[in-house]
């Protein structure tokens, strides 16, 4: 397998690259364009060898952040560190960083092999064949080594672009919406591919996307960005199961956010009033422990209640039921007027028709509590209408 040739291969010695690579750290990074702040006092650490995703809506500062890591943009304030090395003032070509953009910009007159070999030849590496062959095998393009880019499909061209970057064995590979030009099916395939490649070569990938499913599929850690800042950072499951802001709760998947009030405590639980109904929430699952809060529950965590179900309960009236085979998506109007989205896994029970009362239950451990002063719709309207439906979204 190509892996063996790449893994543990010595870093190139023909330029100023050192082995002091390691974690990528951004410390207090700010970028202003005139009076506009595109990136606002960002602190983040990307552990060496991890797959890190910067996820956020258009204009939130993702590309600007990447460009500062690459050295294509100078921060107004703050530092970029690679391991112990401060590279803030270093020229792009002196950084052990490579970037793959949405537009691949392959050399049309060079064949695939020479496109991939380009960086090595420019660094005057004498023996390029073994490295290029190994990386072409990794991206499964050995058979197209002699083809010109113009004859390749979008996905194949994207893999050449990737191979061309990986062959340089950068400490950090930056990917700015690299799959954006591909159709949905190919994009899904390439997501799996990219993750496989990253795992095999063990390089640090920093991947920029506004597609939450793409980020969740591939990344070890996701930083959710909004307005030049990081809203929340964590593993896909941490972010999904325990969002800390309404923006994160709505941008990553979908959430029911219910206006509620903490009325007391019982052991490790908060006692919560939801428009006259008592429910509970573990204290450590809430960013707020008294007064008003948004009580969040994901649509698939709400279940159509059976008679013996323990847990929190609320009853409403079905206003819409869409059977999609694996599940039924319900809208359930609560007595206070709010419609909750419920995704009920198909367990063989026929869907309840509109007009029927429906009691939903959920485990207290599946709820989360958020600051009531935040906009309940933050992040929901930011979702790209062309993007595929978020996981758990009602249609
Ligand atoms: N050179 C520049 N001069 C002025 N404003 C800029 C410049 N580059 C970026 N901006 C602004 O900074 C903000 C962040 O831009 P950036 O390209 O980083 O966003 P993004 O998160 O990558 O968005 P997208 O998902 O659309 O690519 C935007 O409002 C953009 O208009
Ligand atoms: Mg961008």
The pLDDT assigned to 21 comes to 53
Residue 107 near ligand 1, beta carbon < 6 Å: no
Query: Which atom of ligand 1 has the smallest separation from the CA of 61?
Result: 18
Residue 20 clears pLDDT 90, i.e. is over it: no
Reported as a single tens digit per residue, the pLDDT across 278-337 is 999 999 999 999 999 999 999 999 999 987 888 899 999 999 999 999 999 999 999 999
Reported as a single tens digit per residue, the pLDDT across 163-220 is 998 898 888 999 998 888 778 887 888 888 889 889 988 889 999 998 999 999 999 9
Atom 30 of ligand 1, nearest CA residue? 59
Distance 36 CA to ligand 1 centre (A): 10
Mutational pocket test of ligand 1: of 32, 63, 75, 214, the residue with most ligand atoms within 8 Å of the beta carbon: 63
All residues at 6 or more sequence positions from 337 whose CB lies less than 8 Å from its CB, including other chains: none
Q: Which residues pair with 218 in a beta bridge?
A: none
Instruction: Give the DSSP letter of residue 236.
Output: H
**Strand 291-297, strand 256-266: pairing:** antiparallel
Mutational pocket test of ligand 1: of 34, 39, 61, the residue with most ligand atoms within 8 Å of the beta carbon: 61
CA–chain centroid gap for 204, Å, is 15
Asked whether the domain spanning 254-371 has the same topology as the one spanning 2-237, the reply is no
**Strand 77-82, strand 85-86: pairing:** antiparallel
Which ligand sits closest to the CA of 61? 1
CA distance 175 to 172: 10
The pTM of this model reads 0.85
Mutational pocket test of ligand 1: of 38, 40, 73, the residue with most ligand atoms within 8 Å of the beta carbon: 38
Reported as a single tens digit per residue, the pLDDT across 87-123 is 999 999 899 999 988 777 899 999 999 999 998 998 8
Per CATH, the architecture of 254-371 is what? Beta Barrel (2.40)
Query: What is the domain partition of the chain in residue ranges?
Result: 2-237, 254-371
Reported as a single tens digit per residue, the pLDDT across 247-277 is 999 999 999 999 999 999 999 999 999 999 9
Higher pLDDT, 188 or 30: 30
Distance 207 CA to ligand 2 centre (A): 11
Residue 210 near ligand 1, beta carbon < 6 Å: yes
- Supply the CATH classification number for the domain 2-237: 3.40.50.300
Residue 11 clears pLDDT 50, i.e. is over it: no
Which ligand sits closest to the CA of 176? 2
Q: What is the mean pLDDT of the chain?
A: 88
The pLDDT assigned to 382 comes to 53
- Per-residue tokens: 30: 């700010």
For the segment 49-63, the average pLDDT, to the nearest whole number, is: 95
Asked if 38 and 208 touch (Cβ cutoff 8 Å), the reply is no
Instruction: Give the DSSP letter of residue 350.
Output: P
Distance 249 CA to ligand 2 centre (A): 22
């Amino acid at each position: 397998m190509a892996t063996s040739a790449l893994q543990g291969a010595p870093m190139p010695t023909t330029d100023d690259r050192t082995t002091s690579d390691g974690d990528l750290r951004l410390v207090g990074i700010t970028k202003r364009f005139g009076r506009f702040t595109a990136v606002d006092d960002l602190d983040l650490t990307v552990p060496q060898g991890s797959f890190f995703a910067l996820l956020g809506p258009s204009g939130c500062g993702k590309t600007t952040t990447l460009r500062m890591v690459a050295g294509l943009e100078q921060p107004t304030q703050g530092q970029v560190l690679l391991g112990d090395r401060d590279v803030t003032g270093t020229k792009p070509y002196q950084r052990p960083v490579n970037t793959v953009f949405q537009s691949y910009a392959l050399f049309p007159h060079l064949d695939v092999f020479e496109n991939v070999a380009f960086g090595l030849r420019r660094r005057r590496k004498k023996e390029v064949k073994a490295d290029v062959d190994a990386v072409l095998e990794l991206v499964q393009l050995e058979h197209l080594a002699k083809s010109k880019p113009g004859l390749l499909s979008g996905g194949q061209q994207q893999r050449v672009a990737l191979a061309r970057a990986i062959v340089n064995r950068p400490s950090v590979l930056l990917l700015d919406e690299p799959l954006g030009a591909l159709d949905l099916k190919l994009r899904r395939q390439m997501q799996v591919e990219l993750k496989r490649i990253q795992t095999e070569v063990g390089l640090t990938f920093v991947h920029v996307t506004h597609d939450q499913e793409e980020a969740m599929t591939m990344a070890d850690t996701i930083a959710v960005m909004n307005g030049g800042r990081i809203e929340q950072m964590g593993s896909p499951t941490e972010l999904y199961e325990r969002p800390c802001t309404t923006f994160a709760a709505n941008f990553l998947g979908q959430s029911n956010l219910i206006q509620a009030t903490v009325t007391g405590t019982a052991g490790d639980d908060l006692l919560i009033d939801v428009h006259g109904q008592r429910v509970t929430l573990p204290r450590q699952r809430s960013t707020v422990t008294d007064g008003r809060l948004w009580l969040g529950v994901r649509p698939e965590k709400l279940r159509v209640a059976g008679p013996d179900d323990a847990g929190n309960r609320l009853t409403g009236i079905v206003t819409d039921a869409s059977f999609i085979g694996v599940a039924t998506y319900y809208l359930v109007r609560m007595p206070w007027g709010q419609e909750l989205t419920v995704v009920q896994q198909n367990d063989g029970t026929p869907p309840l028709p509109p007009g029927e009362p429906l009691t939903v239950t959920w485990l207290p451990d599946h709820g989360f509590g958020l600051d009531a002063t935040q906009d309940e719709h933050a992040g929901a309207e930011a979702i790209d209408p062309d993007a595929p439906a978020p996981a758990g979204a009602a249609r």
